[in-house]
A and B are shown apart, each in its own frame.
Chain A
Amino acid sequence: MLRYIAKRMVFAIPTLFAVSIVAFIIIQLPPGDYLTTLMAEWASQGGAVEAGTVAAMRDRYGLDQPVYFQYYKWMAGILMHGDFGISFDFGKPVTELIWNRLGFSLLLSVLTLCFVWAIAIPIGILSAVRQYSISDYTATFLAFFFLAVPDFLMALSAMYIMSAWFGQSVGGLFSPDYVDAPWSFGKLVDFAQHVWLPVVVIGLGSLAALVRIMRANLLDELSKPYVTTARAKGMSELELLLRYPVRLALNPLISTLGWILPAVISGEIIVSVVMSLPTTGPLLLRALLAQDMYLAGSLILLISVLTIIGTLISDILLAITDPRIRLQ
């Protein structure tokens, strides 16, 4: 097993290099660079820019050098010093910007995942066991309804309802009083009061897919002969359901676990923007719009690293839960 993991890690290295090159090229593709964006912004604010200033800045940021050299500098920084470069837009090191938000992104993703699994799996089981019943149709209808509603609309409606009818402060993960306060019990309570809304909004949108996967998997398993065998042993229906078909129907779901890691960075950008959440999604969007190339490049690189790690984790989990994969 350890050898297998090590092998996978080694294979990941060329992939990562390829991804970093592609990411860098994609960022360079749109015409202009960060300074063009910056000047357009200044111009729209009525400020005039002297040509000399621009040239000086271009020189300072290294934007006048050839692309491959810029790439080399960036990569060398990462490999030698763990330095991902400076964000032009924020004027801060990229690492500082990302680390600040990564924690919240991860927390939000994990909470959402728990919420979705806790709701979707029981509903999926119910839908499969009572196939074509009223409860199956209701659950299916609701799941598809939430899938169909655009997530920004759901976010807006949820925020409107909570603030207009229940008078709760919405948006962000904290009340204004606590945003910059150090962690305390009060801040934790405040966080809990805020975080559930984005969790529900994001979770409901992805509920449908999981309910349908669970239902379809379980329907396949329910008609398998080993279910009849277990029944012929005298097992009660509930124990039988959980111990055999549900256990097997969960395996394909486990393989989807790895997908949440890359989604931590890029996931739910729109909802995060609408609800002004301090996660990495809005940061990525802003970096791309501003052609803030080291920030955008680092985020994309991070997404690929997490994709590779996520896939590896789900492969390992699957090997742990399914002996057929482990032993063959």
Chain B
Amino acid sequence: MSMTKDTILEVRDLKTYFPTRTGLFKAVDGVSFELKRGKTLCVVGESGSGKSVTARSILQIVDRPGRIEGGSVLLTRADGSTTDLAKLDPRGRAIRDVRGKEIAMIFQEPMSSLSPVHRIGTQIGEALRIHFGTPKHEQRERVLELLRQVEIPRPESAIDRYTFEFSGGMRQRVMIAMALACNPSVLIADEPTTALDVTTQAEILDLIKKLQQSHGMAVLFITHDMGVVAEIADEVLVMYRGKVRERGPVEQIFHAPQDDYTRRLIGSVVKLEKKAEVRLARPAIPAGTPPLLDVRNLSLTFPSGLKAVDDVSLTVRPGETLGIVGESGSGKTTMGRCLLRIYDAQAGAIDYRRPDGQTVDIRTADKAALEKIRREVRMIFQDPVGSLSPRKTVGQIIAEPLKIAGMKGRELNDRVADLMQQVGLEPTWRERYPHAFSGGQRQRIGIARAIALNPRLIIADEATSALDVSLRSQMLDLMMKLQDKLGLSYVFISHDMSVIRYMCDRVAVMYRGKIVEVGDTDQVVNNPAHDYTRALLSAIPHPDPRNRRIHTRFRYDAGRTLSANG
């Protein structure tokens, strides 16, 4: 590729290595690309592909012991002068002058990427002080202007608040304001929307696009989500294990991919665009079947006065998957936890039909009854790292519910081995600890633990949200396989409509503690009755660059007051 006058940053043959005990880990291995004024380059790949390290190498902020071993990062300024950033001392003055001023960066975790004990105004204004020595009162003026640009409501009071007083989306806006403070010519965004739910993601993508146009910045956007790539990219770089697998204009990547890996990435997203084939083929559950779980008028109000669950009624039939969808804060997780009495709902009934046909109200069940029910109703959690004890082997983790149920000796061993096989793990791995497994494998461990006691109902709370897209469909396929084999029912809680569409028979849409719509998945997805459902659906990034729709999506604003901490 040739240098044109629009090229701001040119990365050539970049190599960043991490020395480890077992040898050199080549996190970035000969990566080249260019960033052009006003254009967006998306770097896409699964976790561990080196895309984040590539971005950090540009600013030389790779975590120790990582080091740039070779290659060049040429930054061309408006006056025509050029600097090779890779040759600068990582602690030196020269590279510090580039950071934040010419190249700014925003990060994935808007919570932990901002200091919790400094006011946001101070954190945003700091860049101005460092690079221009702007005096305090001028800083404040500029910060207010920036907060207005990123559309934070009531900037005059927001400026003196702390990060934890903001929601995830608002925090990411603060990050963006910080990055824009010195009018950089390049913005590097490292998975800025991964931790946000779809509607907030759509808003942040909109904002970045708008600011890019008004500031004429080059954007390097890192993501693992092909849908996001299709929505925003001009050019795409596909990375796998530190190497570039393919690069080119977004049209070409999506409609004429050259590389197998690219095809697989696109395939895994497109697969989630429709219902799973196993579910299409399955006969419908007879409508007259008595429900396994019958929730009526369930309500939970937190001591703060927040109505987390507000008069929720729903049913789950045997062998069925009920999806609960909604954005963060909609009360879906709280509702799921009420079903297992992790939280005590204050009103309503949760009628659960025992195998012998009797119904028990979980909400008022006594301790003995609850213990029995909890063997039949299990839970899978979102965070595959946090929900497994790091001090127990995988064998011990899976055996735990069995031991509590009184199983021991050879029978226990065989059962654990059997369970591991069912979820696609080698039984010989039973002596390993959770940290030796990847995120997807850890979630399989969680599933094995959940099905250990042959449950009848599993509540899966965002079970696939922490996984890469390619792993996501595998995990859903596994869950459906187990459902058919063991006759399970699922309550599948997710903020991701595409996951719900892929696997759920019916779906309930939750908004601010209330169910606004329930129905068969096909009907809700294709013909939503409630405006909120429409907004949720139209915020899903669509993996086709020819049909970009996220910027023209339907917004649901009825009765919604935008607030800084809402």
A interface list, Cβ under 8 A from B: 223-226, 228-237, 244, 247-248, 251, 321-324, 327-328
Contacts and interface: CB of A to CB of B under 8 A. Distances in A.
Interface stretch (B27-35, B123-131, B204-212, B448-456): B123-131
A322 B114 contact: no
Nearest to A231: B61
Q: How large is the interface on B (under 10, 10 to 19, 20 to 34, 35 or more residues)?
A: 20 to 34
Contacts of B105: 229, 232
Contact of A235 (B114, B130, B162): B130
B100 A244 contact: no
Nearest to B97: A234
The 3 closest A-B pairs by CB, nearest first: A234-B99, A234-B100, A233-B100
Contacts of A232: 59, 61, 99-100, 104-105
Given A323-B162, A327-B165, A234 B115 contact: no
B14 to A, nearest CB: 18
Given A232-B61, A233-B127, A234-B127, 15 more contacts: A224-B112, A226-B114, A226-B116, A228-B107, A231-B61, A232-B105, A233-B100, A234-B96, A234-B99, A234-B101, A235-B126, A323-B117, A323-B162, A327-B164, A328-B164
Contacts of A224: 112
Nearest to A221: B115
Contacts of B115: 226, 230, 244, 247-248
Contacts of B518: none
B391 interface: no
Given A229-B107, A234-B127, A234-B131, A324 B100 contact: no
A308 to B, nearest CB: 27
Given A234-B101, A234-B130, A324-B164, A225 B112 contact: yes
Interface in B142-185: 162, 164-165, 175, 178
B90 to A, nearest CB: 9
28 contacts: A224-B112, A225-B107, A225-B108, A226-B113, A228-B113, A229-B107, A229-B113, A229-B175, A232-B61, A232-B104, A233-B126, A233-B178, A234-B97, A234-B99, A234-B101, A234-B131, A235-B96, A235-B126, A236-B96, A244-B115, A247-B115, A247-B117, A248-B115, A248-B116, A248-B117, A321-B117, A324-B162, A328-B164
B61 A226 contact: no
Q: Which of A231, A234, A323 has the most CB of B within 10 A?
A: A234
Given A234-B127, A321-B117, A225 B109 contact: yes
Contact of B112 (A226, A235, A327): A226
Contacts of A235: 96, 126, 130
Interface of A is mostly: helix
A240 to B, nearest CB: 10
A294 B427 CA distance: 70
Interface in B74-119: 91, 96-101, 104-105, 107-109, 112-118
B220 to A, nearest CB: 13
B146 to A, nearest CB: 14
B61 A228 contact: yes
B430 to A, nearest CB: 31
B113 A225 contact: yes
B117 A229 contact: no
B96 A323 contact: no
A232 B123 CA distance: 12
A235 B97 CA distance: 9
A225 B61 CA distance: 11
A323 B109 contact: no
A147 B61 CA distance: 38
Contacts of B108: 225
Contacts of A328: 164
A49 to B, nearest CB: 65
Given A225-B109, A233-B99, A323 B127 contact: no
Nearest to B109: A225
A240 B296 CA distance: 55
Contacts of A251: 117
Contacts of B56: 228
Contacts of A244: 115, 118
Contacts of A248: 115-117
A232 B184 CA distance: 12
Q: Which of A237, A321, A324 has the most CB of B within 10 A?
A: A324
A284 B178 CA distance: 58
Nearest to A235: B130
Contacts of B162: 323-324, 327
Contacts of A234: 96-101, 127, 130-131
A259 B97 CA distance: 45
A323 B164 CA distance: 9
Interface string B471-501: 0000000000000000000000000000000
A223 B162 CA distance: 21
Contacts of B112: 224-226
Given A234-B96, A234-B97, A235-B96, A229 B130 contact: no
Nearest to A131: B64
B116 A323 contact: yes
Interface in B505-540: none
Nearest to B114: A226
Contact of A322 (B61, B117, B131, B165): B117
B371 to A, nearest CB: 35
Contact of B91 (A225, A228, A230, A237): A237
